[in-house]
Amino acid sequence: MDYSGNIINRIEDAIINTFFWAEELGFRDQLFKLDERNFQGSFKKRIAYRINECLDKDKSITLLSMSIADACKGNNEILFLEIIAQNPMTIKMAREYHAHLAMRRIERDLNVAS
């Protein structure tokens, strides 16, 4: 699968929004740690980091999404709206796409190193 940058952004957004909705959809117990390095842009990397913190501390990711929404008004607001505009995926799809993003990151890293 070779996707353009815009599609990759939408995939990243959908993965994050899947985590935001996991508690409501009843699959919080199936969530996995996100590798922040798989996401492009510092805003999404910070969100992935904060999601992992919630997983480690057994805190609500739904409440995290609400606090991010409040905190980013005017600053990163459009980026947050793009994230929540994406429909959540099944956890299986999120896991597969997260693995795909990891492969793309590794390929980018190898190309930079050569």
Q: Residue 109's pLDDT is what?
A: 85
pTM: 0.92
CB 62 within 8 A of CB 20: yes
Q: What is the sign, positive or negative, of the torsion defined by CA atoms of 68, 73, 75, 79?
A: positive
Digit-by-digit pLDDT tens for the chain (114 residues) are 567 788 999 999 999 999 999 999 999 999 999 999 999 999 999 999 999 999 999 999 999 999 999 999 888 999 999 999 999 999 999 999 999 999 999 988 888 766
Give residues with Cβ within 8 angstroms of 13, minimum separation 6: 44, 82, 83, 85, 86
